[in-house]
Amino acid sequence: MMKRLSPVIEWFTLLFCTGTVLSFLIAILWDLTAKGWPSLSWQFITELPSEGMTKGGILPAITGTVMLTLLTAVLAVPLGISCAIYLNEYAKDNWLTRLIRASIRNLSGVPSIIYGLFGLALFVQGMHMGTSMLAAGFTLGLLSLPYIISTTEEALRRIPASTREAALAVGATQFESIRDVVLPSALPGILTGVVLTLSRAAGETAPILFTGVAFYINGSSGYLNQEFMALPYHLYMLSTQHQAIEQVRPLAYGTALVLVMVVFFLNLTAFYIRYKYRNNE
Amino acid sequence: MNEAIIKLSAQGLNLWFGNKHVLKNVSVTFPEKQVTALIGPSGCGKSTLLRCFNRMHDLSPDARIEGKIMLENEDLYDKKISVTEVRKRVGMVFQKANPFPKSIYENINYGLKINDIPSKERPAIIERALKESYLWEEVKDELKKPATRMSGGQQQRLCIARTVALRPEVILMDEPCSALDPISTRKVEELIVQLKKQYTIVIVTHNMQQAQRIADQTIFMYLGEVVEEGRTDDIFNHPQKDLTKNYVSGHFG
């Protein structure tokens, strides 16, 4: 009797756990959409805020977040991928590389507020960048590096040795085999990791708090040497720091919805890239 | 063996992986334009020996090699000769077909490209390589198709085509049929017999029947040493040593 019943119990337990997790996710998205949707309009995403944030749109916050994410990508992606290639393809396996690898893994566990303080000390003050888009971009870049390195290394490790040997056997140098065969094969995995990391960076508040984000700037954001507005910080301010919290609540929900949509769009890109490469293989 | 020119040889070859002595004082010769089979139980060092001939161990940091490997009169481990040149002259086909994740055409084109063969000569070379591998009729209308969508046997013949396109002097084959069905295996074996008209072939195999079907010479290895070498017929039917006799008659291995 027990033998026949246990698969049903197992199946039901797992279904229950999955259902619980899903229900939270659906509740959040539902709540966000229901309360944020009315504030969404063409004006909301194309206009500057006005009348002490109680009216108008969030355009500077959108451009600020998009620009900041692009800057983070430009700074962290080439460096992170190169670092992973070195660690996985060239570096000898000894205590030093093991230490480096462990440090990188530990870095991805460091709270993001610590990155914010580090960025303040190094980029804003030490390197005299001031509170600016550049300083914030560098800080977010640092935050993203460990994730990019780890996911890229993981993607490279999945390429079998026989693929590398195939290139070497026709006379390719080690560099040529990596450039022409290993990297293209690992590209879907690398890009997925990069996009997921960037979509996480786009939603970070703490690292940009001290390094460049502003509650309100007059005009558009996006200049490297100036402060900027960003969606996550805007949301934080509207929901906790504003003098008329009740009045701006719909705008806060609208901002949250836009932020979720930006991140969702980035994830969709990763999904699409993966799908496309799978079909090409 | 005296009648043929010696194309490839190893003299007093020793190889260690870390502290493990894998090849022990191996001296073997491979006559030109013949097929030589390396046989022996798993772990006897036959694949390791094969990979010495195109310097595939160069990237394993714990591998240490002593002794000489000569391609005719040139030492392949001489500092004056580059490893990429060695691999162009000594091609290799692997145990599991490993086409590049590119189109059929690009799979052959890639080797030509990185060896600086002018692009206007390449289409003719690619066609010839596919014909030599008896693949042309099957794929001539779908050269743009990803190689990974071909059957296992076709993939392995594509890997052979990729190798012969570079006009190597020697082709090394590491159990090329071990992952193939009997029909694909027969096609590859027929191909090997055709290729020996132009190339010196060294093949590692676990399959005794295969060695007898295609090899002119056979070398039997055991625990990193060469036990016996000679004409295939002699090794299988009149072995000099008891160890060889036990192995080829299936008593161990």
Among A55-59, B7-11, B12-16, B183-187, the range scoring the smallest mean pLDDT is A55-59
Q: Between A170, A184, A185, which is nearest B166 by CB?
A: A170
Residue of B nearest to A279 (CA): B146
pLDDT in tens, chain A (281 residues): 667 788 888 999 999 999 999 999 999 999 999 998 988 888 888 888 877 777 778 888 888 998 999 999 999 999 999 999 999 999 988 899 999 999 999 998 899 999 999 999 999 999 988 889 999 999 999 999 999 999 999 999 999 999 999 999 999 999 999 999 999 889 888 988 999 899 889 989 899 998 988 888 776 666 788 888 889 998 998 888 877 888 888 889 999 999 999 888 888 887 887 787 766 55
More confident residue, A227 or B201: B201
Site of tokens 């334009």: B33
Cβ <8 Å between B99 and A162 = no
Q: Between A168, A169, A184, which is nearest B101 by CB?
A: A184
- The tokens describing A215, both together, are 């509650």
- The tokens describing A37, both together, are 């949707």
Judge whether A71 and A137 are in contact, CB under 8 Å: yes
pLDDT at A137: 94
Q: How far is B125 from chain A (nearest CA, A)?
A: 15
- The tokens describing B236, both together, are 């299988």
DSSP string, B115-173: TT--TTTHHHHHHHHHHHTT-HHHHTT-TTSBGGGS-HHHHHHHHHHHHHTT--SEEEE
Mutate to test the interface with A, among B84, B90, B115, B163 (most CBs of A within 10 A): B84
Is 0.90 exceeded by the ipTM? no
Residue of B nearest to A89 (CA): B59
Residue B2, pLDDT > 60, answer no
Please give the interface size between A and B, counted as residue pairs whose CB atoms are below 8 Å apart: 63
- The tokens describing B121, both together, are 């000569």
Domain boundaries A43-280, CATH class: mainly alpha
Asked if A173 is an interface residue toward chain B (Cβ–Cβ < 8 A), one would say: yes
Q: What is the pLDDT of residues B24-82, one digit of tens each?
A: 999 999 999 999 999 999 889 999 999 999 999 988 888 999 999 999 889 999 888 99
Cβ partners under 8 Å of residue B30, min gap 6? B6, B7, B8, B9, B36, B170, B200, B202, B217
Q: How far is A135 from chain B (nearest CA, A)?
A: 41
Residue of B nearest to A173 (CA): B84
Residue of A nearest to B53 (CA): A169
- The tokens describing A130, both together, are 């001031």
Asked if A165 is an interface residue toward chain B (Cβ–Cβ < 8 A), one would say: yes
pLDDT at A224: 81
Q: What is the pLDDT of residues B137-152, one digit of tens each?
A: 999 899 999 998 999 8
Q: Where are the beta strands (DSSP E) in chain B?
A: 6-17, 20-31, 35-39, 63-71, 74-75, 90-93, 170-174, 200-204, 217-222, 225-231
3-state class of B13 per DSSP?
A: strand
pLDDT at B253: 59
Chain B residues touching chain A at CB-CB below 8 Å: 54, 56, 59, 61, 84-85, 87-88, 91-92, 94, 96, 98-101, 110-111, 114-115, 146, 148, 159, 162-163, 166
**Whole-angstrom distance, CA of residue B48 vs CA of residue B54:** 11
Asked if A89 is an interface residue toward chain B (Cβ–Cβ < 8 A), one would say: no
Domain boundaries, chain A: 2-39, 43-280
Q: Between A162, A171, A180, which is nearest B98 by CB?
A: A162
**Whole-angstrom distance, CA of residue B102 vs CA of residue B137:** 20
SS percent in chain B: helix, strand, coil, step 5:
35, 25, 35
B6-103+170-248 maps to CATH 3.40.50.300:
yes
Output phi, psi for B216, to 5 deg: -85, -40
Judge whether A170 and B114 are in contact, CB under 8 Å: yes
Cβ <8 Å between B114 and A170 = yes
Among A58-67, A263-272, B93-102, B105-114, the range scoring the smallest mean pLDDT is A263-272
Asked if A103 is an interface residue toward chain B (Cβ–Cβ < 8 A), one would say: no
pLDDT at B1: 45
Asked if A96 is an interface residue toward chain B (Cβ–Cβ < 8 A), one would say: no
**Whole-angstrom distance, CA of residue B4 vs CA of residue B128:** 27
